[in-house]
Amino acid sequence: MSKKIIEWETLRVELLAQADVKIAFDAQARETRLREMLSEWRQYAGLTRSQVAQRMGVSAPTVSRMEANVTRASLDTLTRYALACGVKHPQILLY
C-alpha cells in the first residue's frame, strides 16, 4: 500500500473551500488578531497585566484570563481594557 503525499498548500485550499472549515478558520484568525492587539496595546502603553487590571478595577488573573481567552470578554470589557491602555476612541478599532 503506497501513501499519497499531499502538499500543504493543496490541502489548505481544499479544506478552506469547505464553508464550515472556512468559518472556523476565520473565527480563529480574528481571535488570534484580537489577542495580539490586546498585547500590543498593553506593551505600547508600557504596562504590566497588573497595572492594566488596577486601572480596570479587576484582578491581575482576570486580565490574564481575558488575554488568553478573549472570546469570553464582552465588548464593554474590551473597551475598558483599551481605555486602561490609553487607546483613544477604542470603538473605532472594532470596525
Question: Band of the pLDDT at 53, cuts 50, 70, 90?
Answer: very high
Residue 1 clears pLDDT 80, i.e. is over it: no
Question: Band of the pLDDT at 20, cuts 50, 70, 90?
Answer: very high
The pTM of the whole model exceeds 0.85: no
User: What residue ranges define each of the domains in the chain, with the CATH number in brackets?
Assistant: 8-93 (1.10.260.40)
Q: pLDDT value at position 71?
A: 78
Distance CA 46, CA 52 (A): 10
Q: What is the DSSP string of 57-85?
A: TS-HHHHHHHHHSGGGS-HHHHHHHHHHT
